Homo-oligomer: A and B are copies of this chain.
């Protein structure tokens, strides 16, 4: 799965060449995908517990899942359905919004560093520092020269994370323009979902090509060995959840976290407990 979905380093990306409703290397249908995702849940939770256990004896490794995608692409749904498979106490979830005045007074990576997963944790970013080369590019929030420097800053930042034991998994949830329209209409059709709708979302759609281009540049410049990008076709929610579960599983299996060995005398502790009277 990692090889199938990984964006090659430094190659030109043309998002229009990737059908958003494709299911590369995936199960043939929804029922099979749901069953397989549920099956992966147990293994994911087991690996997460091992990762956390390892941190109690000095293993500093952790995993950071970065979710990026257009509105309605399913970042929140991924947290609910995929991250929901883990033990919540080991997950550190952060949804980044428009920067606050305090955050704007700092370099753009400042607020990111404060929310990184601690050793043994699985961190999840719903949006991230990539907003600073996405909306910042499309809306021209910073001078072009400053924007241009950010790609290199991001790559060096992510390399330093990798060096410090962070497995960075960056996922672009790729949906089509038409699929976004359907999902926005669904929100309008259901009064319980009106709170998720913002009329400004429709104006943003006029900028769709500019956003796609900004994503293409970010994927091309920032898919590195230390922190590769994965392009997940996300028009089908069941495929999206399956593929991200599979990506997490493969990365956690490669990390191969281990329960630490006892650093105390197990037999003596057992004797003491049994002889307490």
Contact = CB atoms under 8 A, between A and B. Distances in A.
Interface of A: 53, 56-57, 76, 79-80, 83-84, 86-89, 91, 93, 95, 126, 181, 184-185, 188, 191-192, 194-199, 202, 205, 259-262, 264-266, 269-270, 272-274, 276
A274 B198 CA distance: 16
Contacts of A274: 185
Copies in the complex: 2
B269 A195 contact: no
12 contacts: A53-B192, A79-B89, A84-B84, A86-B88, A89-B126, A181-B276, A191-B259, A191-B262, A194-B259, A194-B262, A198-B264, A202-B272
A259 B192 contact: yes
A197 to B, nearest CB: 7
Given A80-B87, A88-B91, A185 B270 contact: yes
A202 B275 CA distance: 11
Contacts of A259: 191-192, 194-195
Nearest to A180: B273
A265 to B, nearest CB: 8
Given A84-B87, A184-B273, A202-B273, A261 B93 contact: no
B84 A80 contact: no
B188 A270 contact: yes
Contact of A93 (B88, B95, B198): B88
What are the 6 closest A-B residue pairs judged by CB atoms, nearest first? A194-B262, A53-B195, A79-B89, A88-B88, A80-B87, A199-B264
Contacts of A266: 188, 194
Given A84-B88, A194-B261, A198-B264, 15 more contacts: A56-B195, A79-B88, A79-B89, A80-B87, A83-B89, A84-B87, A86-B88, A184-B269, A185-B274, A188-B269, A188-B273, A191-B259, A192-B259, A197-B264, A202-B273
